[in-house]
């Protein structure tokens, strides 16, 4: 059983560009959450998708947007990249239970 997968593993962009990160949830999971982890800090919740709708959102600007597809996979889009967007972006999947399982993350570097 494949766990949560994310692509790409690493990404380098320049300021002002746009980026799309992808996540496939664990088999049987229908909910995807995205987190941003800056260097030396704990993950910060960005938003959560369920039934192709954004169900909950953290304190992130509108430059951060997402999408969930009918197969439950998800994308995170960030527009007008800033240096401060450099971080590890983590995707987590869950179902009805209380646990969220995380993928390996995408390391985004903004130059």
Partner 1 sequence: GEDVEQSLFLSVREGDSSVINCTYTDSSSTYLYWYKQEPGAGLQLLTYIFSNMDMKQDQRLTVLLNKKDKHLSLRIADTQTGDSAIYFCAGADTGRRALTFGSGTRLQVQP
Find the Cα–Cα–Cα–Cα dihedral 26, 30, 34, 40, rounded to 10°: -40
Task: List residues bridging with 101 in a β-sheet.
Answer: 93
* Binding residues with partner 1: total (CB under 8 A): 24
Closest separation in Å from C-beta 30 to partner 1? 12
Q: Which of 66, 65, 63 is nearest to 80 (CA)?
A: 63
Of the candidates 28, 42, 70, 84, which one interacts with partner 1 according to CB under 8 A? 42
User: Could you give phi then psi for residue 84, rounded to 5 degrees?
Assistant: -70, -10
Show the site string, 10-39: x = touches partner 1 by CB under 8 A, - = not. Answer: ---------------------x-x-x----
Residues that bind partner 1 (CB under 8 A): 4, 31, 33, 35, 40-45, 48, 56, 58, 90, 92, 94, 98-105
């Amino acid at each position: 059983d494949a766990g949560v997968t994310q692509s790409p593993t690493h990404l380098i962009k320049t300021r002002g560009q746009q980026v799309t990160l992808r996540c496939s949830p664990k088999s049987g999971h229908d909910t995807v959450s995205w987190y941003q982890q800056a260097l030396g800090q704990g993950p910060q919740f960005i938003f959560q998708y369920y039934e192709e709708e954004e169900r909950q959102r953290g304190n992130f600007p509108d430059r951060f947007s997402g999408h969930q597809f009918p197969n439950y996979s998800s994308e995170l889009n960030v527009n007008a990249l800033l240096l401060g967007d450099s971080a590890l972006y983590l995707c987590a999947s869950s179902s009805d239970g209380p646990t969220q399982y995380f993928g390996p993350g995408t390391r985004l570097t903004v130059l």
